[in-house]
């Protein structure tokens, strides 16, 4: 196995040796407590390096630094903010291979995917938001009282906090850093403890790009300490969070202290629906990647596959064959399609669901086993498909966040709408049909923040993304998100 692994860049090796630091007010500092924690390579279970375990004292320092930097950053000419953010994006581009290697080492995902997809998406987001500072406008109002000029101004909210998960550590960060900084806010980022490395490297690049000290701060550390301190902080004006529904609810509660703005992008149990009038071969291929991309650790994973009874056997057979052929292994092997799960904890959580599926009477079609041999040290699980799944089974109701697909059969359009919507989540949905009217009926009827028709899992920086119900509130991406990073101020002027 080791023969075919991509060699680690010297720049990545030297970075790993200096990763144990927080960026606060432009200075690289150890945690105030002096504590550190190891970040692991999930393909081997071995530590990659140690990072600073920031906690409340460090968050306090970082928020103070962000507050101190705020007025000057907000007052910078919009065109100057654009230049700095574009330079930041340029540096990300120049260090693409390094960022992709860090993502693969820390998260486990295939290098090809990190390099060709994730890093490009992150750079695209930075560029999109880099272009926005000169386009933040207010309006004038035709009030029905004589002698007034009334207009609105969009002003930055102040100090923002961002808390990111481990599944797409880079894009979850850039989709918060971009709009926060573009609007003239300053930011403290707390990356997931499983994948802190790309955030630290991003912070180095931001400084190198000339983004002033204190505008972008990074505090690595754990959720219950550093994360909780950031969301409860009275001098933080907005928090953007992506992660579990449980933690999202805790954040909404702790943010109530100073009524800071909150946007939450949480879990999902997204339905993907295949009608018998669809291109069934293309739909089966899409369903495969809808669940297995990123080893199922994807908030929009198409984890409930509803297949119309007339084509159920055909789709299931195609999927099972494709799933068995997927190559699972180290992300540093270019031929690998699926990497490991993020951690032992996540592996056990997912295996627990596999056990529940079997216990509750679902039919295990393929997978379900941890991989051994060369891969025994890592957290590798076979792509897993359950058939004959019923809506009330745990595997059909709860977010698994692993490579486990539930396949369910349905008869009619009305029935599948009702069953697809019978969930506390509402993040994403997919529909495969060649019937034009049905496609649009379904798009309107499904409870989800995004609906993909005859495709799945597409994103663009210009298109808003977010959920309904317990998938959270607020949106990320798109130009409209600037509303969430600015305050709207109305100005009344008596001119006569």
Binding site for ligand NAI (CB under 6 A): 163-167, 190, 192-193, 222-224, 227-228, 231, 242-244, 247, 250-251, 266-267, 299, 349, 399, 401
54 touches which of ligand NAI, Mg ion, none (CB within 5 to 8 A by kind)?
Answer: none
**For residue 179, what are the contacts with CB-CB under 8 A and spacing of at least 6?**
129, 132, 476, 481, 482, 484, 485
Q: Of all helices (H) and strands (E), which one includes residue 189?
A: strand 186-190
Catalytic residue (choose from 51, 299, 399, 470): 299
In the complex with ligand NAI, the residue whose CB is nearer, 84 or 189, is 189
Cβ at position 29, least distance to ligand NAI in Å: 20
Size of the site for Mg ion (CB under 5 A): 4
Helix (H, G, I), strand (E, B) or coil at 273: strand
CB closer to Mg ion, 8 vs 150: 8
142, 149 contact by CB (below 8 A): no
Question: Judging by beta carbons within 10 Å of its beta carbon (0-12, 13-18, 19+), is residue 384 exposed, middle or buried?
Answer: buried
CB atoms < 10 A from the CB of 257, how many? 12
Does residue 125 touch Mg ion according to CB under 5 A? no
Residue 482 site contact among Mg ion, ligand NAI, none (CB < 5 to 8 Å, cut-off depends on kind) = none
Task: Please enumerate in sequence order all residues whose Cβ is within 8 A of that of 59, keeping only pairs 6 or more positions apart, or say none.
Answer: 188, 190, 219, 226, 229, 230, 233
- Say how far apart CA 372 and CA 379 lie, in whole Å: 10
416 binds, among Mg ion, ligand NAI, none (CB under 5 to 8 A by kind): none
**φ/ψ of residue 333, rounded to 5:** -95, 120
Residue 166 or 456: the one with the smaller Cβ distance to ligand NAI is 166
Give 133 or 383: the residue with its C-beta nearer to ligand NAI. Answer: 383
106, interface contact from Mg ion, ligand NAI, none, CB < 5-8 Å by kind: Mg ion
In terms of CB distance, is 83 or 249 closer to ligand NAI?
249
CA distance 342 to 120: 22
Query: Which of ligand NAI, Mg ion, none interacts with 39 (beta carbon under 5 to 8 A by kind)?
Result: Mg ion
Residues 325-354 that bind Mg ion (CB under 5 A): none
Alpha carbon distance 235, 64 (integer Å): 8
| DSSP strand pairing (271-274 vs 304-308) | parallel
The answer to whether the beta carbons of residues 454 and 445 sit under 8 Å apart is no
Minimum distance, C-beta of residue 101 to Mg ion, in the bound complex (Å): 13
Q: CB of 300: closest distance to ligand NAI in angstroms?
A: 8
Q: Give me the catalytic one of 265, 399, 470, 476.
A: 265
Confirm whether 299 is a catalytic residue: yes
Query: In whole angstroms, how close is the CB of 106 to Mg ion at the nearest point?
Result: 4
Out of 58, 98, 103, 106, point to the residue binding Mg ion (CB under 5 A): 106
Q: Which residues contact 159 (CB under 8 A, 6 or more apart)?
A: 63, 66, 67, 70, 185, 186, 187, 188, 235, 236, 237, 238
Should residue 193 be labelled a site residue for Mg ion when binding is judged by CB under 5 A? no
CB nearer ligand NAI, residue 231 or residue 295: 231
Nearest distance, CB of residue 269 and ligand NAI, angstroms: 10
Q: Which residues bind Mg ion (CB under 5 A)?
A: 39-40, 106, 194
Hey, which residues are catalytic here? Answer: 265, 299
């Amino acid at each position: 196995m080791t023969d075919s692994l991509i060699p680690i860049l010297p720049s990545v090796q030297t970075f790993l040796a200096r990763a144990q630091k927080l960026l606060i007010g432009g200075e690289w500092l150890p945690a105030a407590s002096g504590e550190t924690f190891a970040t692991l390579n999930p393909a081997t279970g071995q530590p990659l390096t140690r990072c600073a375990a920031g906690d409340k004292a460090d968050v306090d320092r970082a928020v103070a630094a962000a507050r101190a930097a705020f007025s000057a950053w907000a007052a910078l000419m919009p065109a100057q903010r654009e230049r700095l953010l574009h330079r930041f994006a340029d540096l990300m581009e120049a260090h693409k291979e390094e960022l992709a290697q860090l993502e693969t080492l820390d998260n486990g995902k295939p290098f090809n995917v990190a390099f060709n997809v994730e890093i490009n998406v992150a750079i695209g987001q930075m560029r999109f938001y880099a272009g926005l500072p000169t386009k933040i406008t207010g309006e004038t109002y035709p009030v029905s009282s004589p002698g007034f000029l009334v207009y609105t101004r969009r002003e930055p909210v102040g100090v923002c906090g961002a808390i990111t998960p481990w599944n797409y550590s880079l894009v979850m960060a850039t989709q918060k850093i971009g709009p926060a900084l573009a609007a003239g806010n300053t930011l403290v980022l707390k990356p997931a403890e499983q994948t802190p490395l790309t955030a630290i490297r991003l912070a180095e690049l931001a400084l190198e790009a000339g983004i002033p000290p204190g505008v972008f701060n990074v505090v690595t550390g754990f959720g219950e300490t550093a994360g909780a301190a950031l969301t409860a902080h009275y001098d933080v004006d907005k928090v953007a969070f992506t992660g579990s529904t449980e933690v999202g609810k805790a954040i909404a509660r702790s943010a109530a202290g100073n009524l800071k703005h909150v946007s939450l992008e949480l879990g999902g149990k997204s339905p993907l629906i295949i009608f018998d009038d669809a291109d069934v071969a293309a739909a089966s291929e899409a369903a495969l990647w809808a669940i297995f991309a990123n080893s199922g650790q994807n908030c929009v994973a198409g984890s409930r596959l509803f297949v119309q009874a007339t084509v159920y056997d055909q789709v299931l057979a195609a999927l099972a064959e494709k799933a068995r052929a997927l190559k699972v292994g180290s992300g540093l092997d270019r031929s690998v399609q699926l990497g490991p799960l993020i951690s032992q904890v996540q592996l056990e959580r997912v295996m627990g669901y596999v056990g529940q599926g079997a216990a509750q009477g679902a039919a295990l079609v393929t997978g379900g086993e941890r991989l051994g041999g060369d891969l025994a040290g890592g957290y590798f699980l076979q792509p897993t498909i359950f058939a004959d799944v019923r809506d009330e089974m745990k595997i059909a109701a709860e977010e698994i966040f692993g490579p486990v697909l539930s396949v369910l059969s349905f008869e009619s359009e009305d029935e599948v709408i009702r069953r697809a919507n019978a969930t506390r989540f509402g993040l994403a949905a997919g529909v495969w049909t060649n019937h034009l009217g049905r496609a649009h009926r379904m798009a309107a009827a499904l409870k989800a923040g995004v609906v993909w028709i005859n495709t799945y899992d597409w994103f663009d920086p210009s298109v808003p993304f977010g959920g309904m119900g317990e998938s959270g509130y607020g949106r990320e991406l798109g130009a409209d998100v600037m509303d969430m990073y600015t305050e709207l101020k109305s100005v009344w002027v008596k001119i006569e």
